[in-house]
Amino acid sequence: DQQVKQNSPSLSVQEGRISILNCDYTNSMFDYFLWYKKYPAEGPTFLISISSIKDKNEDGRFTVFLNKSAKHLSLHIVPSQPGDSAVYFCAAKGRDSGNTPLVFGKGTRLSVIA
């Protein structure tokens, strides 16, 4: 039973355009969400996070949107750059009182074409 789903295995975007990566979750106990970026042969690198008390968090070119009623979040990258080409993982965490671990989606491979 996959609690965090990234339904698009891959995405191609032209340089300079917006990249939108989507993530859905099923567990209503999740209240903290993160995006990680992973290059081949490296560990995932933290990108941006959002708490369930917010619906938007922005950091430079990266913005994460959270729609709790739809159990959906998205990562927007604008403008997209060739160096953004990587696999992006969405992750979710339950309320800390339960000491729950991060649960990851299967990832979306983003290719930014120059």
Partner 1 sequence: KAGVTQTPRYLIKTRGQQVTLSCSPISGHRSVSWYQQTPGQGLQFLFEYFSETQRNKGNFPGRFSGRQFSNSRSEMNVSTLELGDSALYLCASSPRTGGMNTEAFFGQGTRLTVV
**Residues 82 and 112 sit within 8 Å (Cβ to Cβ):** yes
Give residue for tokens 């369930």: 52
Backbone φ/ψ region at 107: left (φ over 0), alpha (ψ -120 to 50), beta? left
32 binds partner 1 (CB under 8 A): yes
Interface region with partner 1, contact rule CB under 8 A, candidates 18-26, 29-37, 64-72, 78-86: 29-37
Give me 38's structure tokens: 């992973």
Taking residue 12's Cβ as centre, other Cβ atoms within 10 Å add up to: 11
CB nearer to partner 1: give 25 or 104: 104
Site for partner 1 in 90-109 (CB under 8 A): 91, 93, 96-97, 99-107
Q: Which residues bind partner 1 (CB under 8 A)?
A: 6, 9, 31-32, 34, 36, 41-46, 49, 51, 89, 91, 93, 96-97, 99-107
